Amino acid sequence: MKTSNHRSQRTSLGFLAAGALALAALPACSKSDQKKVTAAVTDSYEDSKAAMAHTWDKAKDYTFDKRDDFRADAKALEAKMDVHLSEVRASYSDAKASASRKAAMAEVKNSETDFKEKTAALGDATAATWDSAKKNTMLSWDRLQAAYYKARAD
């Protein structure tokens, strides 16, 4: 991956972290300030989402010789998703959650575990198993992303 792409990913991650901190301070802000912070966090989220999609589209073409780059991209996506999931978990209360929200959070947990396992398994892939390992990781990512969006919507 190119250095400029790493910078944009780190920048997006930084914006997400700053947005999470800003959201924590929302109750102390005026309504005007709350709207500004919410807009900034939304923009940061959209930037991060676009960076993730770009990274993954590029990753589809990685050969076995570029497996280290693919694994690095998968780890970067994992780190970004960890930030997003921490925000979802922070707003989650098992005692107050509906049955569908509980199911969505359970799916997040299961799909997150699966993605981390698939990403770790990339290190064991051989030239003969590379395409399968890469495809399984990408499918697992799609599942995690869908679970995240469902949990976020509930």
Q: Count Cβ atoms within 10 A of the Cβ of residue 1 and give its class: 0-12 exposed, 13-18 middle, 19 or more buried.
A: middle
132 — pLDDT class (breaks 50, 70, 90): very high
pLDDT of 45 reads 55
Whether 107 has a pLDDT exceeding 80, the answer reads yes
What mean pLDDT is reported for the chain? Answer: 74
The structure tokens 């960076």 sit at 51
Specify the pTM: 0.62
d(C-alpha 45, C-alpha 115), whole Å: 21
Cβ-Cβ contacts under 8 Å for 70 (sequence gap 6 or more): 59, 62, 122, 134
Whether 62 has a pLDDT exceeding 60, the answer reads yes
Whether 140 has a pLDDT exceeding 80, the answer reads yes
**What are the residue boundaries of the structural domains of the chain, listed by start?**
3-153
